[in-house]
Amino acid sequence: MKKIVFNVIPRLLLMLALLTSLNHCFAQQLLSRQKAVEDIDFYVQTMTESHYDPFMYISRGAYKNHIETIKKSLPDSIAMKELVLLFYKITALLNDAHSTPQLGQPLFQDEFKKEQFFPYKLVAEKNRLFVPIQIAADLGIPAGAQITDINGENISKLSDQVQNGIAGTQPFKEEVAVKLFSYFMFLKNIKPPFILQYKNDKGKLQKAVIKTGVTFKKALSASLPHLIKPYDCQILQHKLGYLDVRSLSGDISSFKIFLDTSFVKFKKAGISNLAVDLRKNSGGNTALGDLLFSYITNSKYSWGNKSWKISQAYKKQLIAGGDTVSAYLKQPDGSIWKNEDGCLPVENRFKNNTLFKGKIFFITGPFTFSSAMAVADVVKNYQIGTIIGEPTGELIKDFGEAFVIDLPNSHLKIQSTTSLSHGVNCNRTKNGPVLPDIRIENTLRDKVLEKDRPLEYLLNSIK
């Protein structure tokens, strides 16, 4: 079965272009307590039948108790936005960051088109939000000012609530929380005009107003630039080739055209140092990772072993997607199927006549996730390049192969997983993120001033 590691963000955002026609009124309707309980039970049953190991991070008994407490706390009826927030809380119990409500919920399709979303990406440190220099002038707020409230909502408390609905490592949760902040504000019914309360450089509380918002896609694009441009190529200071690979999703032929053009550009310019930036990349398809490797190494490598839980739910998704020949479909439901030879290094299926011969660096951070993390794992274990920056936002041994659970009453789309990737090093005994060879972090001040210490380090190191 082809090795594919689905991500959280890019895959979900495809729904924005594929939303089905639903009555806008449904987004405003209330769901009865009974119907909400039925949806929760349906999710739990489908998830437990298909997830490789739902109780890796929480005991079965503790999970059951949490679910029962949530169901008992339901009011007689619940609004759809509140139900989405509730499912963030439910899915986060697994600590599987691939398992989460989809962003592009069809019932909100008309809402997404309205200019009601918070228009800026702020800078986060734990549960606090600050104003970066680029937008400080627009808002009339000093760069680095801490925002304490928006429309009377305490930002620290809201940030805590958001992070509690996101699974994964703590750095990843913090990164995703600030990237999706505008969406969670929408779910909390915080709409324009946005009245911001902030602390000035003397600690005095002051206010500013943002009169209008933007559409959902524009709000997300501010923090997820791959929506506009999935990858970018530059030559920095005439000495560093820089590939900002923001996504491993999408058409492989388009990625090949980008890489062909980029490496021709580097060769003509006599570039002997290359940086591949994965800090904005939450994953996609490891086939695009294979293609990238074909330009920089001819060594054999592997992606490591992988195990699947066999279920009808995932079989139905494969068939619906046109895959009727997968070996997965031949396995008995409820069984575990493992790729036994995944640790054997093999030749790359993609070939390039000319390889980049210079020094190669990969830059990682807390949003380096899913197949982007897997790329970093291969780089680390096979010494394809030097990794600088921060640890990846995902553990090496983690879940994947996402599929969608369509809840029968609310028709919310909840993403779940069915596999476990074991990592490239099959002798690994301890789990953890991919660690950089050279650790360089941006401070809060760096983020506010939009400085990039890892890139500065590379540029200063190259003669």
Structural domain boundaries in the chain: 123-214
Residue with tokens 């009453």: 409
User: Rounded to whole angstroms, how far apart are CA atoms 369 and 375?
Assistant: 10
Mean residue pLDDT across the chain: 92
**409 neighbors 36 (Cβ within 8 angstroms):** yes
Spell out where 200-324 has E strands: 205-210, 231-236, 240-245, 273-277, 305-309
What average pLDDT does the segment 359-373 reach? 97
Share of residues in the chain with pLDDT > 70 (%):
94
Asked whether the predicted pLDDT for residue 201 surpasses 90, the reply is no
For residues 5 and 26, give the distance between their C-alpha atoms in angstroms, rounded to a whole number.
33
Q: What is the pLDDT of residue 404?
A: 95
3-state secondary structure of 95: coil
pLDDT at residue 176, rounded to an integer: 95
Do residues 52 and 420 make contact, with C-beta atoms less than 8 angstroms apart? yes
Distance linking the first and last C-alpha atoms of the chain: 45
- Identify the band that residue 457 occupies on the pLDDT scale cut at 50, 70 and 90: very high
List the one residue out of 210, 213, 155, 225 whose CA is nearest residue 186. Answer: 213
pLDDT tens digits along 134-188: 899 889 899 999 999 999 999 999 999 999 999 999 999 999 999 999 999 999 9
Q: Say yes or no to pLDDT of 284 above 70.
A: yes
In this prediction, residue 22 carries a pLDDT of 39
For 123-214, which CATH superfamily applies?
PDZ domain (2.30.42.10)
Tens-place pLDDT, residues 51-92: 999 999 999 999 999 999 999 999 999 999 999 999 999 999
Residue-level pLDDT at 339: 81
**pLDDT reported for residue 28:** 55
H helices, E strands: number in the chain? 18, 19
Per-residue burial over 206-218, b if 16 or more Cβ lie within 10 Å, else e, is eebebeebbbbbe
Q: Verify cis geometry, omega within 30 degrees of 0, for the bond prior to 366.
A: no
Structure tokens at 447: 């983020």
Instruction: Tell if the pTM clears 0.85, that is, is over it.
Output: yes
pLDDT over 50 (residue 119): yes
The mean pLDDT of 362-385, rounded to a whole number, is: 97
d(CA 449, CA 326): 50
Nearest to 220 by CA among 17, 445, 5, 4: 17
Residue 8 has pLDDT above 80, yes or no: no
pLDDT above 60 for 311? yes
386-389 and 359-364 strand pairing: parallel
Percent of the chain's residues with pLDDT above 90? 86
pLDDT at 112: 96
> What does the pLDDT look like over 390-438, one tens digit per residue?
999 999 999 999 999 999 999 999 999 999 999 999 888 889 999 999 9
462 pLDDT more than 50:
yes
Q: What is the DSSP string of 48-91?
A: HHH-S-TTSSS-HHHHHHHHHHHHHT--SEEEHHHHHHHHHHHH
Q: What is the DSSP letter of 344?
A: S
Residues 6+ apart with CB under 8 A from 321: none
Name residue, tokens 């009555």: 23
Res 3 pLDDT > 60: no
pLDDT of residue 12: 44
- Report d(CA 23, CA 329) in Å as an integer: 35
What is the structure's pLDDT at 391? 98
